[in-house]
Amino acid sequence: MGFFMSKAMDESLKKQQEFMAANSALQLERQMLMQNEMRQRQVAMQIAWSREIIKYFGTFFGLTTVGLTIGAMKKKSPRFLVPIVPLSFILAYQYDVAYGTLMMRMKDEAENIIDTERTRLEMPKGVPTFEVIEKARRARSTFFINK
């Protein structure tokens, strides 16, 4: 009779372990999906911010260009047109961020760095371990207690 109970308990334990493993995998998958969703929302906000900035900067650039051109014609001096050159580079960059392929080029370069220059990605003193984090947490909690 003890053998049958032991066998039933072993089966129950095995099913429980399988359930826990499946539940852990499901939880990890959800966390990864949520992190990716949050990343996508942050990138969308950055692109939207860039598109909003380009509206204001484009207006500024247009008014400045017109004003400087009128000033250069009135004073008969081309030096008034010099600020248009750096401003046009800034406008081109903002346009590339907002509507161009800058994000794709950055993604491709990041993938290249991950593939070919892995050592540049290493953290100083390596990846933090649980022990290091726990030691810092204890030191911090004792610091606040002693204050």
Summarize pLDDT for 39-91 with one digit per residue, the tens. Answer: 999 999 999 999 999 999 999 999 999 999 999 999 999 999 999 999 999 99
In a domain, 7, yes or no: no
Structure tokens that stand for 72 in this block: 């250069």
Other Cβ atoms within 10 Å of 120 Cβ, number: 8
Measure the CA angle with vertex 80, ends 74 and 85; round to 5°: 140
The four Cα atoms 126, 127, 128, 130 give a dihedral, to 10 degrees, of: -130
2, pLDDT greater than 60: no
In a domain, 80, yes or no: yes
What is the Cα–Cα distance from 135 to 147, expressed in whole angstroms?
19
Per the structure, the complete domain to which residue 54 belongs is given by 45-121
In a domain, 78, yes or no: yes
Q: What pTM was computed for the model?
A: 0.68
Structure tokens that stand for 36 in this block: 């990716």
Domain count, the chain: 1
In a domain, 61, yes or no: yes
pLDDT at 91: 96
> Tens digits of per-residue pLDDT, 96-113?
999 999 999 999 999 999
> Tens digits of per-residue pLDDT, 20-29?
999 999 999 9
What three-state secondary structure class fits 120? helix
Residue found by looking up tokens 């500024």 in the block: 60
In a domain, 92, yes or no: yes
